[in-house]
Amino acid sequence: MTSMCRAIIQSIEHPSLNAGRKLTVRKMAVAATAQPRQTRCINSSTHGEQGPLSLRPVLPQVREAVARDVEGLLGTEWRISHRFNEAKDGHIFRTETLYAWKREGRERPGLLILGAAGQPAIYWDMDRDEPSALQFQIPFGYLREGYAAFVATLLRGERRLILEDIWVRGGRSLMAQPYSSRWRQLMDSFQQFTAQQLFLGFDLALVEPMSLQKWSAVAEPGTIWDFQPEAASRKRIYYVVPGAHVGLSAGAQARQAEAQAHIKLPPTVEKHALKKTTQLLTARYAFARPDKTTPLPDSYILEAADGVPIGRACVTRLAQSQELRHKFAATPEGFPVEVAWHSDFKKYEIIRSLPVGSPLTSASAFFEAGAAAAATNQLQVE
């Protein structure tokens, strides 16, 4: 028996510690009928035979603006959960009210942000630290008082978005409220959303928490569970029940099978033939300097050897943005960097900074920039 199970069993065996839990859970379940997948769900009728949901990352300036709004209320620590540790978390399971729900597969929760920085809907993938635009119908007047931020799990393969918590509503942080209060506001928002979500291309669902007593009766080996403390400001704890290996979600299994079915052998390359694809495996170095022609953040000009310009840099991660700003503050004239081509933004992305004086790559190695410029010129001519 694991330390986690012992902690939960001890809490269940003490009725005085669970007296308030049954009442709270019963109140939360009144307006939500239990479903086999532990969620309430509205089905979109537009994605019957479509593949996994594909999202497009937002532009760097949009990322920066949204992050600034969210950090204004939640700070820079956006961590949603941490793994159970008996030494640190055992007392929580013995003394506090908790709610549990099962994760569907290995997908981790992210943030659904509505209305921040004037952007309708952004889903921030916490695993990749990547915000993407999301098609979402927002009810009229819902954002009148300010933006909203939800904790949600996006199952791209199943085309399913599961709402689990609400951290910001009407431009105000809700973290000072207990979870049962936040859950009622989450349910109210879900009901408003489901009144008009007809053409999303994915299903919108609401998680339904259960008590620890019920969890102890239904938990199966190898499954992952989230435990949300009732107390205000408490982040959730996740736990993997010992036993069978946790498998991929249904969508991930479908994607894996499809990929294996379409595996192709690499093409034969003639001996001594110079292929551009071989250059992709070679690190390329450029000189980065601030773009003083624009007030936009994270705007940097890249130059190859001999000062040949190869375009503006692409900065896609918040941590990378902060690191570059510190570096440019210390070296305002610029410094060498390693870059790689970002096919979505059609720009070179800065991978890491290099020591001053590092040799730069010749302009001929940056063939993607020339191809992108030629394509743009062709479109202008047409």
Q: Note whether 58 and 204 are same-domain residues.
A: yes
Q: Note whether 322 and 364 are same-domain residues.
A: yes
In a domain, 320, yes or no: yes
Q: Could you list the residue range(s) of the whole structural domain that residue 297 is in? A: 276-381
Q: Note whether 225 and 298 are same-domain residues.
A: no
In a domain, 20, yes or no: yes
Q: Note whether 229 and 356 are same-domain residues.
A: no
In a domain, 263, yes or no: no
Per-position pLDDT tens, the chain of length 382? 555 655 555 554 444 344 344 333 333 333 333 334 455 554 544 444 567 788 889 999 999 999 999 999 998 888 899 999 988 898 898 889 999 999 987 789 999 999 999 899 999 998 888 999 998 888 889 999 999 999 999 998 888 899 999 999 999 999 999 999 999 999 999 999 888 665 567 888 999 899 888 888 888 888 899 999 999 999 999 998 887 555 555 556 665 665 665 554 444 433 333 333 333 335 788 999 998 888 888 889 999 888 889 888 988 888 888 888 888 999 999 999 988 888 777 888 888 888 888 888 888 778 776 555 544 444 344 4
Q: Note whether 100 and 173 are same-domain residues.
A: yes
- Per-residue pLDDT, 35: 38
Q: Note whether 280 and 243 are same-domain residues.
A: no
Q: Note whether 280 and 239 are same-domain residues.
A: no
In a domain, 259, yes or no: no
Q: Note whether 226 and 321 are same-domain residues.
A: no
Q: Note whether 67 and 199 are same-domain residues.
A: yes
In a domain, 136, yes or no: yes
* CATH number of the domain encompassing residue 119: 3.30.470.30
* CATH number of the domain encompassing residue 336: 2.40.50.140
Q: Note whether 123 and 213 are same-domain residues.
A: yes
Q: Note whether 315 and 375 are same-domain residues.
A: yes
Which of 209, 230, 247 is the last residue before a domain boundary? 247
In a domain, 123, yes or no: yes
In a domain, 269, yes or no: no
Which of 204, 232, 247 is the last residue before a domain boundary? 247
pTM: 0.57
Which of 202, 230, 247 is the last residue before a domain boundary? 247
Q: Note whether 110 and 162 are same-domain residues.
A: yes
In a domain, 99, yes or no: yes
> 3-state SS string over the chain?
CCHHHHHHHHHHCCHHHHHHHHHHHHHHHCCCCCCCCCEEEECCCCCCCCCCCCCEECCHHHHHHHHHHHHHHHCCCCCCEEECCHHHHHHHHHHCCEEEEECCCCCCCEEEEECHHHCCEEEEECCCCEEEECCCCCCCCCCCCCCEEEEEEEECCCCEEEEEEEEEECCEECCCCCHHHHHHHHHHHHHHHHCCCCCCCCEEEEECCECHHHHHHHCCCCCEEEEEECCCCCCEEEEECCCCCCCCCHHHHHHHHHHHHCCCCCCCCCCCCCCHHHHCCCCEEEEEEECCCCCCCCCEEEECHHHCEEEEEECCCHHHHHHHHHHHHHCCCCEEEEEEEECCCCEEEEEEECCCCCCCCCHHHCHHHHHHHHHHHHHHHC
What's the total number of domains in the chain? 2
